Amino acid sequence: MQCANLAAIAAIRRFNRFHTRWVGALGGSLHGSGFALTEGRVLYELAQRDDWLASELARELGLDPAYLSRILQRFAASGWLARERSREDGRALRLRLTDKGREAFQPLDAASRDQAAAIVTRLSPAEQARLIAALDQSEALLSGTRSAPGRSLIRQHRPGEIGWVISAHGRLYAEEYGWDAGFEALVAEIAAKFLREYKPERERCFIAELDGAPVGSAFVVEETVDVAKLRLVLVERHARGLGLGKGLVREAIGFARAAGYGRMVLWTNDILHAARAIYVAEGFRLVAEERHHSFGQDLVGQNWELVL
């Protein structure tokens, strides 16, 4: 088993331990409600729908039907659950919480909501957005399904986000291509020069945002009076496939045209296939390439050009 797999397994197990402790499941009382974790989840699902079949509920929750049946019998004995004949199949019984059952559910629901609210209130709006995105991504990755695309936009950078650009480049290129700290140093130098010599009418940093958090970047910097340079184009892994890379490049090209540049140039490496596909689609042409050893890797650098 590869090291990356071992790390992922350890992370999942660590989160499972954290989560069961956080919800109070280890003590046998979910959120102090008196319900065991499974009982609380069954009660929650019954509160959301009035027409469950026991077989459907067992499949949805991945429960043994006999185990679920014992939980339902307990709920019925407590006066929380009613069973009604299905109109579609007279042999089947539809499950419905009674008013007494909904009263029993309310304290559990309130305790769960209050516990989540206690976490959210100590987080800044940006941290809340990161938490929402992280939970959505975790659910999608662990379940094998893709979550619905979030709210995205492309805008100018804000104070503090240039640091994010440096960090994201250093992290992603190390993870995906094995590039060493020399690349992060180069990005830091480019970013520092941009901030020191920033010309708002001639230069721009675009940030792609998803659900309130930065997930991508693209810079337009002045190379000469007539030539703009496209730099530091990046999109985080979880935000790819939403068209943000193409959107960033198009925003950069549009800004360069409006600023009066005649050409736009960029330098990249041939292993960055997705980025190169965007450049080709937007009309850039390859004008030169050269082998080099940088960032701890043997690479093929490429110069591209677009007439504006």
pLDDT digits (tens, 9 = 90+) for 6-24: 777 788 888 878 777 766 6
- Pairing, β 93-97 against β 204-210: unpaired
Residue percentage of the chain with pLDDT more than 70:
91
Using one digit for the tens of pLDDT, what is the confidence trace for 122-163? 888 777 777 877 787 777 777 766 555 667 899 999 999 999
Q: Is residue 1 predicted with pLDDT exceeding 50?
A: no
Most confident of 3-17, 88-102, 106-120, 231-245: 231-245
- Residue 148 pLDDT: 58
pLDDT of residue 147: 54
| pLDDT (0 to 100) of residue 19 | 75
119 vs 114: CA distance, rounded Å: 9
Residue 83 pLDDT > 50: yes
Task: Report pLDDT digits (tens) over 111-125.
Answer: 888 878 888 888 887
Which residues make up the CATH 1.10.10.10 domain(s) of the chain?
3-122
Q: Compare 308 and 27 and report the one with higher pLDDT.
A: 308
CATH architecture of 3-122: Orthogonal Bundle (1.10)
pLDDT of residue 52: 85
Give dist(CA 275, CA 273) in Å, integer.
6
Long-range CB contacts for residues 159-165, cutoff 8 Å, separation at least 24 = 161/205, 161/207, 161/214, 162/191, 162/194, 162/195, 162/205, 164/214, 165/191, 165/205, 165/217, 165/232, 165/234
CATH architecture, domain defined by 152-307: 3-Layer(aba) Sandwich (3.40)
User: What is the reported pLDDT for 146?
Assistant: 56
What's the mean per-residue pLDDT of the chain?
87
* Start and end residues for every CATH 3.40.630.30 domain found in the chain: 152-307
What is the pLDDT, as a whole number, of residue 131? 80
User: Where does the pLDDT of residue 164 fall: very low under 50, low under 70, confident under 90, or very high at 90 and above?
Assistant: very high
* Average pLDDT of the residues in 35-58: 85
pLDDT at 31 over 90: no
Residue 265 has pLDDT above 70, yes or no: yes
pLDDT at 277 > cutoff 60: yes
Other beta carbons less than 10 A from residue 130's beta carbon: 16
| Residue of higher predicted confidence among 29 and 106 | 106
pLDDT tens per residue across span 199-234:
999 999 999 998 888 999 999 999 999 999 999 999
- The predicted pLDDT at position 26 comes to 58
Which residues lie across from 214 on neighbouring strands? 209
Count of Cβ atoms closer than 10 Å to residue 260 Cβ: 12
Confidence of residue 40 (pLDDT cuts 50, 70, 90): confident
